[in-house]
Amino acid sequence: ICGGPLKVHGTCIRKVRQGEHTHQIHLRVMECRHCGKTHRELPEGLVPYKRHDLNSLCEIAEATETQHTCETSTWLRIRFWLVWFLWYAQNVLDGLITAGQMSATFSPGHSLRRRTASFVRLVVNSGNWEQHRSAMTRKDIPSILVSS
């Protein structure tokens, strides 16, 4: 976040659900030599603080009320989180463009998976990741984003 050089500080294990299976992924923990903050590497397809990988999140969010393969509360929570996250990430992008830190030609893509992957990387790398948005409810989402 500060732009300082990183050094490997250790490793950690991250459990992530990919479809029907849970996998353990070993991640390097990096420490900034300048500010001392620690960071975990973020391989493609992982979303910080989420138990499901990017593909699973998008599959669940795109499923209809009768198609989803998880509990209804999980399906709703993931759908609400994704709507909120895409709205939040677009605002982060707009702010970075206004501040001159991002090109106005940046395009996150059109599919849900591509937009989410691009925005996850953008929000994490800009230092704007919100860590405590897992317990989303309908009232947490701006009303213009919720379809009745």
Domain boundaries, the chain: 42-145
> Given pLDDT bands bounded at 50, 70 and 90, which one contains residue 4?
confident
Residue 2 has pLDDT above 80, yes or no: no
Q: What is the pLDDT of residue 85?
A: 95
Q: At residue 7, what is the residue type?
A: K
Question: Are the C-beta atoms of 76 and 63 separated by less than 8 Å?
Answer: no
Q: Smallest Cα–Cα separation from 140: which of 92, 83, 71? A: 83
At 61-109, the pLDDT tens digits run 999 888 887 889 989 999 999 999 999 999 999 999 999 999 999 999 8
Whether the CA torsion 131, 135, 138, 140 is positive or negative: it is negative
CA 58 to chain centre: 11
Question: Are the C-beta atoms of 74 and 136 separated by less than 8 Å?
Answer: no
Q: What is the pLDDT of residue 139?
A: 54
Question: Are the C-beta atoms of 35 and 4 separated by less than 8 Å?
Answer: yes
At 120-145, the pLDDT tens digits run 999 998 888 877 554 445 555 555 44
DSSP annotation of 6 reads: E
Residue 147 has pLDDT above 90, yes or no: no
CB atoms near residue 36 (< 10 Å): 9
Q: What is the pLDDT of residue 148?
A: 40
